[in-house]
């Protein structure tokens, strides 16, 4: 049966999934990139991103705890859901079709991706099997469409923080894998603030540690 999963989502020790002061040139906000250092040098990341080699500092790819969780995040995924902020920085009506995401002509998804938005836009077909579909009917409609497209495989919820909080509050997420980085942001977008995850039925079912992150899996 198809599950809705959050996988490989980085947060700080104090619970922030993005820093404050997000801009076009700093999409993760102040200090936000530190939340993803755990994955940057892994074999999985460097295989899936054209620009990853430039971030490797000449080091060989890591095949460690971090890499195992990174690889798991892409297993059995038949569709994705993204919030509009994850797709790009444009707000309001789409001025044109020029913006095609942060990832170049061949995004790393390679399956249908459903982007939550209040403003309609035609589907965007990219290289490698990725097609972005823009959903204006809300989170339930996006999940229904994603599950249909996934054809029995899982749906991965990519974020951002506000989108995960919406699905979490509705008890729609079956599994969350969080990579807790050893950094303190102090401010930004808090993932769990005001949400009683225990009351919603979530509990920790798996944990593992690396030099760069504590990996925890919550299931409902």
Q: How does pLDDT run across 204-217, given as a tens digit for each residue?
A: 999 999 999 999 99
pLDDT band at 97 (very low <50, low <70, confident <90, very high): confident
pLDDT tops 50 at residue 107 = yes
Residues 6+ apart with CB under 8 A from 100: 124, 126, 132
Domain that holds residue 191: 4-89+104-219
> For the whole model, what pTM was predicted?
0.92
Number of domains in the chain: 1
Output the domain CATH number for residue 124: 3.40.430.10
Q: Say if 139 falls within a structural domain.
A: yes
DSSP string covering 27-41: TT-TTGGGGGHHHHT
Q: Say if 81 falls within a structural domain.
A: yes
Between 55 and 89, the more confident residue is 89
Look at residue 120 and give its three-state secondary structure: coil
Q: Say if 140 falls within a structural domain.
A: yes
- Section 76-99 average pLDDT: 90
Q: Say if 94 falls within a structural domain.
A: no
> CA 98 → CA 24, 95, 101, 121, 157, distances in Å?
15, 8, 9, 12, 24
Q: Say if 29 falls within a structural domain.
A: yes
Residue 72, token pair as written in the block: 């798991």
Q: Say if 98 falls within a structural domain.
A: no
Q: Say if strands 154-159 and 77-83 run parallel, antiparallel, or are unpaired.
A: parallel
The whole-number pLDDT of residue 188 equals: 93
Q: Say if 96 falls within a structural domain.
A: no
Q: Say if 53 falls within a structural domain.
A: yes
């Amino acid at each position: 049966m198809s599950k809705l999963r959050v996988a490989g989502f980085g947060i700080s020790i104090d619970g922030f999934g993005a820093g404050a002061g997000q801009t076009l040139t700093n999409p993760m906000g102040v200090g936000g990139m530190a939340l993803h250092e755990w994955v940057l040098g892994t074999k999985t990341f460097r295989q899936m991103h054209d620009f990853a080699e430039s971030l490797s500092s000449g080091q060989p790819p890591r095949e460690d705890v971090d890499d195992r969780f990174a690889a798991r995040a892409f297993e059995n995924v038949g569709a994705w859901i993204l919030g509009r902020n994850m797709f790009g920085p444009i707000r309001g009506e789409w001025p044109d079709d020029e913006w095609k995401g942060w990832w170049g002509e061949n995004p790393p998804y390679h399956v249908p991706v459903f982007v939550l938005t209040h403003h309609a836009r035609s589907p965007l077909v990219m290289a490698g099997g990725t097609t972005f579909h823009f959903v204006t009917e809300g989170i339930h409609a996006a999940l229904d469409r994603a599950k249909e497209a996934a054809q029995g495989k899982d749906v991965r919820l990519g974020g951002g923080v506000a989108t995960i909080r919406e699905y979490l509050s509705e008890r729609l997420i079956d599994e969350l894998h969080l990579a807790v980085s050893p950094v303190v942001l102090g401010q930004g977008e808090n993932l769990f603030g005001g949400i009683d995850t225990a009351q919603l039925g979530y509990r920790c079912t798996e944990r593992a540690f690396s030099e760069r992150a504590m990996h925890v899996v919550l299931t409902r």
